[in-house]
A = this chain, B = another copy of it.
Amino acid sequence: MTKKIKEVQLISISDLLDIEKYKENGAYFCERFGIMMNLGDVPENEWMNPYQPYRSKEWRIARITSGVSKYIINLQEHVLQKNTIHILPPGTLVMKVSQSDDLSAEFLSIYDLDELNSRIPQGHTLYYTADEETGLRFHEYYKLILRMTQDSRTPFTSIRLTAFALAEDMISQQEEIQGKNKDKIKLNRHQLLNDQFMELLNQQGTLKHEIRFYSDLLFVTPNYLSNVVKEISGQTVSWWINYMVVMEAKMLLLHSNLQIGEIADRLGFSNLPFFSRFFKRETGMTAVAFQKQFS
């Protein structure tokens, strides 16, 4: 008997949707490229279920064209509304919270966009609400790429390059906005420390559950870190660490073939009962019950 490989499943849009159904509405789907579609064509109940975190498989580039939706992306709340631009690299921790009935978006998912790695590394996202002009520009790129995908002669490299140009354009438009507001905002030291903590938590939070680990890396006392994070984010450091662990635990319960004992191990718990008690306390249900509820 061969050993079954233990793995975490990264989720692509085609895992979440019955793509075939939407091809008729102009959605474009191809193994190498990914998918391009208007999310407005997809009824809410067929789209990603709320409160089920997963890690994404592909690059996602989107502009909201109507409606509102709320997501937790790498632990942070993202409110998406008209002209919100979203670029998420592969491996992003995504959880839908809610979406309005009239949600629609121009949406592109694309497997390989390595050129963007240095601009938006894993753990980061591009997330801002653009002005009308920039929104229109996204729309023009979107139409152009759609046109390209619908011509069967177009090689994948051409589509990829234009998608890259779109992403770069959206990034530099945001930098432009940021630059303009730099004087106004003047990120204070508390804000900065909070942001650095959140970045570390996203990178290391699944295994490192001690405040001191983070405060040491940030050259402050645990007390000071706790006070600042509480002041800026409204929640304590411990709350954030638990939040991260629960999110990752749920993701692994839903999207891996790991045993619960292995999940506990991956999350840095020294034994299964510790993990079980932790999960029950934080979510109100057992890990097994959670897993069953969504399968």
Contact = CB atoms under 8 A, between A and B. Distances in A.
A176 B162 contact: no
Interface string A138-169: 00110110011001011101100110110011
A161 B157 CA distance: 14
Nearest to A167: B161
Contact of A154 (B136, B140, B172): B172
A173 B151 CA distance: 10
A148 B137 contact: yes
Copies in the complex: 2
Interface in A172-192: 172-173, 176
B147 A144 contact: no
Contacts of A140: 140, 143-144, 147
Contacts of A173: 153-154
B176 A155 contact: yes
A61 B21 CA distance: 40
A148 B157 CA distance: 23
Nearest to A156: B172
B147 A169 contact: no
A15 interface: no
Best-surrounded residue of A143, A147, A161 (most CB of chain B within 10 A): A161
A133 interface: yes
A134 B155 CA distance: 13
A90 to B, nearest CB: 22
Nearest to A144: B140
Contacts of A143: 140
A115 to B, nearest CB: 10
Given A144-B144, A162-B165, A155 B172 contact: yes
B164 A161 contact: yes
A136 B146 CA distance: 13
Given A137-B144, A140-B147, A169 B158 contact: yes
Contacts of A133: 151
Contact of A169 (B148, B172, B176): B148
Interface in A219-260: none
A137 B144 CA distance: 7
Given A140-B144, A161-B164, 6 more contacts: A134-B151, A136-B147, A153-B176, A154-B169, A154-B173, A157-B172
